[in-house]
Amino acid sequence: MTSISLSRFLLEAQRSHPDAMTPDLRLLIEVVARACKTISNAVNKGALGNVLGNVGTVNVQGEAQKRLDVLSNEILLEANEWGGHLAALASEEMDDPHPIPNRYPKGEYLLVFDPLDGSSNIDVNVSVGTIFSVLRCPEGVREPTAADFLQPGSRQVVAGYTVYGPSTTLVLTFGQGVASFTLDREQGSFVLTQRALRIPEDTSEYAINASNRRHWDPPVQRYIGELDAGKTGPRGRDFNMRWVGSMVADVHRILTRGGIFMYPVDAKCRDKGGRLRLLYEANPMGFIVEQAGGAATDGRQRILDVQPHALHQRIGVFLGSRNEVERVTAYHLGAA
């Protein structure tokens, strides 16, 4: 069977959906994918590449920066600043947006990303990933500021992630469903492996950091208590739990076989607004999950409807199999 490269897939998408897949978006995705290949090579070197461990600095999140966090961020910045497709970039690892240097042309898109999500897993050889989101730069804005990135997730034109696991897999949406590509290391290119990922509406698998149980609000206590009661409780069936501690790995499992992923706002993280970040974790993953037939809320409202007020704002996240997300959201709204 003829393998379809990412380049061919994007060209065909441009022909069939010219408004959704413009030449500059096609270039942007190819550039990000190429940067992810470079990050994959660095991640895969592990202890042999002098890329493990901390650099001794702390990022805007107050988290210790891993060598690979900083390297991945630099790879994405350098790959994207010369192509003329972006007006600015923003990253989990940088306090403020990164302008496109004046020596390069500016484009009409904004790229925001988590260069290496789950990086606390790197030193223990557990899957990590890159998450990215693309917005349009507001009309007439030549020097974008953080305020120009503060758009609801429903305005995203592209979202994707690359999971650096047993295989390096790129998952992508531009609003016409979700496709996945696996890196063929012999060819050095991403090859289409699934054209239309769909999340089953029901599931028996949930993902949450259960060590936070005592901090959860009542709706989450009720929902998880019912799952744990299994056959003996109101759900009448048993459930299984998985928690990788790397959002990309947990979400990829859910896209592959269903499930619900939860990181609620609780007594422990309420003062920060939550654990996960809206612009470069919840929004891109919410767009991808919805395009695959799932749902994504903050417990009360659709994540993609939330109007951001800060670049590194955090939010509660419930996403995955639609019927489970709707159930736990109904519990929060007192509607069940």
Closest distance to ligand P6P from the beta carbon of 117 (Å): 5
Closest distance to ligand P6P from the beta carbon of 71 (Å): 17
Nearer to ligand P6P, 239 or 263 (CB): 263
Nearer to ligand P6P, 107 or 153 (CB): 153
User: Which DSSP letter does residue 137 get?
Assistant: P
Please name the amino acid found at residue 125.
N
Closest distance to ligand P6P from the beta carbon of 16 (Å): 33
C-alpha 178: how far from chain center: 13
Nearer to ligand P6P, 25 or 116 (CB): 116
Closest-approach residue to ligand P6P (CB): 247
Closest distance to ligand P6P from the beta carbon of 276 (Å): 6
Structure tokens at 52: 């493990």
The contact set with ligand P6P (CB under 6 A) reads 117-118, 120, 209, 245-247, 275-276
Based on the number of CB atoms within 10 Å of its own CB, is 191 exposed (0-12), middle (13-18) or buried (19 or more)? middle
Nearer to ligand P6P, 128 or 134 (CB): 128
Structure tokens at 250: 């947990």
DSSP string, 93-108: T-SS-EEPPTTS---S
Nearer to ligand P6P, 107 or 115 (CB): 115
C-alpha 291: how far from chain center: 13
Closest distance to ligand P6P from the beta carbon of 284 (Å): 12
Closest distance to ligand P6P from the beta carbon of 213 (Å): 13
Structure tokens at 209: 């950091």
Query: How far is Cα 336 from Cα 330, in angstroms, rounded to an integer?
Result: 6
Closest distance to ligand P6P from the beta carbon of 102 (Å): 34
Nearer to ligand P6P, 41 or 120 (CB): 120
Long-range CB contacts for residues 169-174, cutoff 8 Å, separation at least 24: 169/193, 169/252, 170/6, 170/33, 170/36, 171/197, 171/252, 171/255, 171/288, 172/29, 173/287, 173/288, 173/291, 173/292, 174/13, 174/17, 174/20, 174/21, 174/25, 174/29
Q: Which residue has the tokens 């990086």?
A: 119
Nearer to ligand P6P, 42 or 269 (CB): 269
